[in-house]
């Protein structure tokens, strides 16, 4: 029998089609069946036909590998026995509309991550935001400062997702990130779960009523937060209605900053009774709001019932004479307040004289700031004289910045220094000095 040498060479040098199929089934280390392939128009014994068919198989395998790589980008590694396993996670556009309840996010099996770094990166990918390198660098620190980072609502959401499980950060500064109500709500949801953060600064973020409502709900459940700063967030009377119940119920919060907002007389009337019932806050800042005489009287009534507040800042509000008189009456009976700032409040001479009467009996106030009020040198003199008449006075510092004083005030101060050697007084120029110069 005559055997064709070309046929023998082809069968030795070229692998069979079945062998190629076995090779293609193990691309990427994951066993998978290749899709159906088109039949070759050449016969099996043809050399040209074999080359064309091998090229088609190779091209198909590359496409399968690309498809598999795309799938792997949405997989996580996890099994109970520590072995790697590919678990596919599919995200939809609907997930972008959730806050911290990113559907299925925490249902995936993942290695325990006390920093939340992996959660943060995946949340950023889901929400379409860029991960903040400054946060990733300091994610293990106890204090993290992220002021002026431009997070926005979506970036704040991603950050909040990681902080749910983070056990390192105790103090967090998110000032001026324009998170708005949506971002403020995400932070509030996070603080309901996080039991490590004790201080957080959300100033200058425009959270508005929506954020105030969410944060108030958080304060009803959170038992670890001790300091909350909400300065410059466009909070008004409606926000005060949400905050009031939280101030009554929460007894863990010790420092609250509500300065640079839009709280007026109506808001003060709401917050006053809440402060009266609060037994936790030691420092309250309401500077740079719109509290006038009527609101100051209502707030003072609430302050009278509080026996825990140590520091109160009401500067830049416009309390006027009525507010000064109301606060003076409170100080006659209050024995806990130590630091009071009522600077730049349009307090006239008559208001200062009435307020000064409280210093004849008060024994706890250490710091009193009344700078930039139209109380003149006579008002400052009345404050100093009342303090001199009280041998048990605890006043250590008086601030009369930008108020000019006369020689009579200077003489009285020199006399008081013999009784209270630690007393410090800050004031404007001396009137007699100004006259000599002119």
C-alpha closest to that of 182 among 91, 92, 96, 124 = 96
Q: Which residues pair with 200 in a beta bridge?
A: 172, 228
- Predicted confidence band of residue 111 (pLDDT cuts 50, 70, 90): low
Residue 242 region by backbone torsions, left for phi larger than 0, else alpha for psi between -120 and 50, else beta: alpha
Residues ≥6 apart with Cβ < 8 Å to 33 = 25
Query: What's the rounded Cα separation, in Å, for the pair 137 and 397?
Result: 43
Collapse the DSSP code of 79 into the 3-class scheme (helix H, G, I; strand E, B; otherwise coil) and give the result.
coil
Q: Which two tokens stand for residue 404?
A: 């000019």
- Each residue's pLDDT tens digit, 134-190: 999 999 999 999 999 999 999 999 999 999 999 999 999 999 999 999 999 999 999
81 pLDDT more than 50:
no
Domain ranges for the chain? 5-70, 99-437
Residue 342: name the closest of 264, 395, 288 by CA: 288
Query: What confidence tier does 429 reach under pLDDT thresholds 50, 70, 90?
Result: confident
| Closest C-alpha among 98, 71, 66 to residue 87 | 71
Confidence of residue 64 (pLDDT cuts 50, 70, 90): low
Q: According to the model, what pLDDT value does residue 55 have?
A: 47
DSSP state of 15: P
Displacement of CA 138 from its chain's centroid (Å): 16
HSE-CB at 423 with a 13 A cutoff on CA atoms is: 21
- Using alpha carbons, select from 267, 266, 279 the residue that is nearest to residue 243: 267
Query: SS3 for 434?
Result: helix
Given a contact cutoff of 8 angstroms between Cβ atoms, the answer to whether 402 and 429 are in contact is no
Say how far apart CA 207 and CA 185 lie, in whole Å.
8
Helices 293-304 and 265-277 pack at an angle, to 10 degrees, of 0
Find out if CATH 2.40.50.140 is the number for domain 99-437: no
Neighbour order of strands in the sheet with 397-400: 143-145, 171-173, 199-201, 227-229, 255-257, 283-285, 311-313, 339-341, 367-369, 397-400, 424-427
Token duo for residue 251: 């007894």
Count of positions (residues) in the chain? 438
Report pLDDT for 110: 59
pLDDT digits 0-9 by tens, 245-299:
999 999 999 999 999 999 999 999 999 999 999 999 999 999 999 999 899 999 9
Among 47-51, 269-273, 383-387, 422-426, which is the least confidently predicted range? 47-51
Whether 113 and 164 have beta carbons less than 8 Å apart is answered as no
Round the CA-based radius of gyration of the chain to a whole number and report it: 36
Is the Cβ–Cβ distance between 188 and 158 less than 8 Å? no
pLDDT at residue 294, as a whole number: 92
pLDDT tier, 46 (very low <50, low <70, confident <90, very high otherwise): very low
């Amino acid at each position: 029998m005559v055997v064709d040498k070309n046929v023998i060479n082809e069968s030795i040098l070229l692998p069979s089609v079945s062998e190629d199929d076995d090779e293609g089934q193990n691309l990427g280390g994951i066993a998978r069946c290749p899709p159906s392939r088109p039949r070759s128009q050449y016969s099996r014994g043809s050399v040209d036909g074999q080359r064309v068919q091998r090229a088609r198989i190779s091209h198909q395998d590359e496409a399968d590998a690309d498809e598999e790589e795309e799938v792997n980008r949405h997989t996580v590694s996890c099994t109970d026995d520590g072995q790697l396993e590919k678990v596919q996670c599919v995200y939809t556009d609907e997930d972008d509309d959730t806050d911290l309840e990113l559907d299925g996010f925490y249902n995936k099996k993942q290695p325990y991550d006390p920093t939340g770094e992996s959660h943060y990166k995946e949340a950023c990918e889901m929400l379409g935001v860029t991960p903040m390198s400054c946060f990733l660098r300091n994610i293990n620190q106890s204090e993290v400062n992220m002021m002026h980072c431009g997070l926005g609502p979506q970036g704040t959401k991603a950050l909040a997702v990681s902080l749910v499980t983070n056990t390192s950060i105790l103090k967090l500064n998110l000032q001026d990130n324009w998170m708005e109500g949506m971002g403020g709500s995400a932070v509030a949801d996070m603080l309901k779960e996080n039991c490590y953060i004790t201080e957080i600064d959300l100033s200058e973020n425009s959270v508005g009523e929506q954020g105030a409502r969410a944060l108030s709900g958080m304060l009803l459940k959170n038992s670890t937060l001790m300091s909350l700063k909400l300065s410059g967030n466009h909070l008004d009377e409606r926000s005060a209605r949400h905050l009031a119940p939280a101030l009554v119920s929460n007894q863990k919060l010790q420092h609250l900053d509500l300065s640079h907002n839009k709280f007026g007389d109506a808001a003060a009337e709401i917050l006053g009774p809440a402060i009266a019932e609060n037994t936790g806050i030691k420092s309250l800042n309401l500077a740079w709001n719109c509290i006038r005489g009527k609101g100051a009287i209502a707030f003072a009534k609430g302050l009278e019932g509080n026996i825990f507040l140590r520091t109160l800042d009401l500067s830049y509000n416009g309390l006027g004479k009525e507010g000064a008189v109301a606060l003076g009456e409170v100080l006659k009976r209050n024995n806990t307040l130590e630091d009071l700032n009522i600077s730049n409040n349009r307090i006239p001479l008559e208001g200062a004289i009435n307020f000064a009467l409280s210093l004849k009996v008060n024994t706890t106030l250490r710091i009193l700031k009344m700078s930039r009020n139209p109380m003149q040198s006579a008002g400052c003199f009345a404050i100093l004289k009342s303090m001199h008449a009280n041998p048990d006075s605890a006043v250590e510092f008086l601030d009369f910045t930008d108020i000019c004083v006369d020689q009579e005030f200077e003489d009285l101060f020199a006399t008081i220094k013999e009784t209270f050697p630690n007393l410090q007084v800050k004031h404007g120029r001396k009137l007699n000095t100004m006259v000599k110069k002119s």
